[in-house]
């Protein structure tokens, strides 16, 4: 048995006029994340965790923000493509532990939906996906509601 651990992190600005997608779930809010894709900070962090566990670089190498093919793309598609790379190398996802950091909106009531989406894509059970949320107690860019950040750890097994 071979185990690989990966860590992912992603940041996005929050701006008026964009939808807010976190963990594959649209969250009602007056601001959304700014990015080339749908800017789903949580799915991007998980993608980076999967890619990092296999030493395959980062999400920007695989889905560059200069490529028009990825303009406004659904990040669930990006996560699926990263998972296919995991499978192609003979690994499976054991679990995902993640945290989203933002002041507003509160996302706890959406976290179970996020877990279902992520588990479905990664072919694991909902009990194998953790989605936590925290604030920065009004400090820094997240505390001023200028942006948000997500962190993800993934464990792979061959």
| Segment 56-105, tens digit of pLDDT | 999 999 999 999 998 999 999 999 999 999 999 999 999 999 999 999 99
User: Could you list the residue range(s) of the whole structural domain that residue 140 is in?
Assistant: 3-157
User: Is residue 12 a contact partner of residue 41, using CB atoms and an 8 Å limit?
Assistant: yes
CATH number at residue 153: 3.30.1330.50
User: Is residue 73 a contact partner of residue 38, using CB atoms and an 8 Å limit?
Assistant: yes
55 upstream amide cis, omega within 30 of 0: no
pTM: 0.97
Number of structural domains found in the chain:
1
| Segment 113-124, tens digit of pLDDT | 999 999 999 999
């Amino acid at each position: 048995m071979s185990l690989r651990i990966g860590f992912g992190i992603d940041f996005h600005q929050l701006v008026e006029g964009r939808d807010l997608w976190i963990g594959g779930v649209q969250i009602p809010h007056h601001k959304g994340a700014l990015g080339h894709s749908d800017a789903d900070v949580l799915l991007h962090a998980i993608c980076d965790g999967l890619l990092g566990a296999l030493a395959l670089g980062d999400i920007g190498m695989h889905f560059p923000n200069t490529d028009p093919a990825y303009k406004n793309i659904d990040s669930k598609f990006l996560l699926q493509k990263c998972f296919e790379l995991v499978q192609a190398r003979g690994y499976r996802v054991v679990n995902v532990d993640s945290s989203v950091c933002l002041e507003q909106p509160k996302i706890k009531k959406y976290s179970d939906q996020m877990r279902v989406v992520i588990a479905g894509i990664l072919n694991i059970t909902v009990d194998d996906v953790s989605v936590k949320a925290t604030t920065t107690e009004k400090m820094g860019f997240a505390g001023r509601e200028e942006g948000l950040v997500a962190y993800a750890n993934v464990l792979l097994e061959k």
